[in-house]
Amino acid sequence: MSFHVRLVGLVVVLILGIQQQQEYRVQAYQDAFTSTELSYFFGRKPDADFICFEKQLIKGTTLPTTVTTTQATNIEYITVQADKYYKEGFRATVAPALPVMTTNVRIDGKPVLPYNILVQFWCAP
């Protein structure tokens, strides 16, 4: 086998290896934000709590996104819910831990949201 054929074969193997490695990275990134969950509940909701802030993320919103609010009383409970069933869910995280007066809800999932998500913040009276 000539040197030229060996060199071409080596280049092809290297290119395929690099392409496969990039596919693994993309898949790992997608898996990090893919979930089947379509609703999340954070905190503890006493009966007297009321909805003090509500935000709807509409279909087509670019993810990730963060919903932030500051209230006069403690936010004790948060719900994050999709408006319909879909094969792929989303991930929601809250920081800092409840109860607090200011909090952030970060939502990750598909790059473009395929459904609406309603985020509700429940506050102490």
| Residues 89 and 112 grouped into a single domain | yes
Q: Which of 25-34, 44-53, 67-76, 107-116 has the lowest mean pLDDT?
A: 25-34
| Residues 47 and 107 grouped into a single domain | yes
| Residues 14 and 63 grouped into a single domain | no
Structurally, the chain folds into a number of domains equal to: 2
Going by their DSSP bridges, the two strands 39-43 and 65-82 should be labelled as: antiparallel
| Residues 66 and 112 grouped into a single domain | yes
Residue 95's CB is within 10 A of a number of other CB atoms, namely 11
Give the global pTM.
0.72
- 80-110 tens-digit pLDDT: 999 999 988 999 999 999 999 999 999 999 8
Percent of the chain clearing pLDDT 70 (strictly above)? 72
| Residues 28 and 48 grouped into a single domain | no
The answer to whether the beta carbons of residues 102 and 73 sit under 8 Å apart is no
Residue 89's CB is within 10 A of a number of other CB atoms, namely 18
The answer to whether the beta carbons of residues 60 and 112 sit under 8 Å apart is yes
| Residues 29 and 45 grouped into a single domain | no
| Residues 54 and 20 grouped into a single domain | no
| Residues 72 and 26 grouped into a single domain | no
Q: Which of 14-18, 40-44, 79-83, 89-93 has the lowest mean pLDDT?
A: 14-18
Could you list the residue range(s) of the whole structural domain that residue 2 is in? 1-33
How far apart CA 79 and CA 74 sit, in angstroms, is 15
| Residues 72 and 45 grouped into a single domain | yes
